[in-house]
Homo-oligomer: A and B are copies of this chain.
Amino acid sequence: MQYPNGKKSSVYTKLKSNQTVYSNRGMSLEDDINDTNQYYLAHNIAIIHKKPTPVQIVHVDYPKRSAAVIKEAYFKQASTTDYNGIYKGKHIDFEAKETKNKHSLPLHNIHQHQIDHMKQIVNHGGICFLLIRFSVSQETFLFPAEELFPYWDQQFNGGRKSIRYETVKKLGYIIPIRFQAKVDYLAVIDKYYMENGGTTNGR
């Protein structure tokens, strides 16, 4: 498991308890997802990884007797979502977005090609969604890709450039916070996707 910020996993020290925690302030959504994915992996529940940050490498030095050093590189826009993998034989694909805004999720940090990718995944029978955290209230929602697309599209027809908190709450599913799986999104998938044959239509 990669911990890009150098933090060590806290998963293994937490396996002793089944306790539910109700507050988790201070950890980023990405940290929580990484811990959750590591928990899923360690317990053979699902195999889900974050993709590496895409980087355009321009110049590399190859010093004698030591590792190659990248001396010039640039961040590239991701062409897909950040997370994917497999759960109960199904392809899972999602993106995580955290906002400090209390009342809505701004759409400006989602990109058109990520939406295109999500449409393709849905079209091919994958389970695809956004994980949305409102950091002030510390609530995290699973928002199905199928529900996202109309809100994405309407911004180009004069509509809002964000999704209201109330909409996320109404069309999304709140994710239980557990001590072991901090953002236990598979619990939501079990309940709302798997029971309805892989769609949210049966809701």
Contacts and interface: CB of A to CB of B under 8 A. Distances in A.
A52 B49 contact: no
Nearest to A45: B124
Interface in A83-123: 84-91, 93, 117, 120-121, 123
Query: How many chain copies?
Result: 2
Contact of A69 (B72, B124, B125, B126): B72
A178 B62 CA distance: 38
A121 B87 CA distance: 9
Contacts of A121: 47, 86
Interface size class of A (residues with CB under 8 A): 35 or more
A124 B71 contact: no
Interface stretch (A22-30, A73-81, A164-172, A180-188): A73-81
Contacts of A53: 52, 55, 57
Contacts of A84: 84-85
Given A52-B53, A86-B91, 10 more contacts: A41-B120, A47-B117, A47-B126, A53-B57, A67-B74, A67-B75, A68-B74, A71-B71, A84-B85, A87-B124
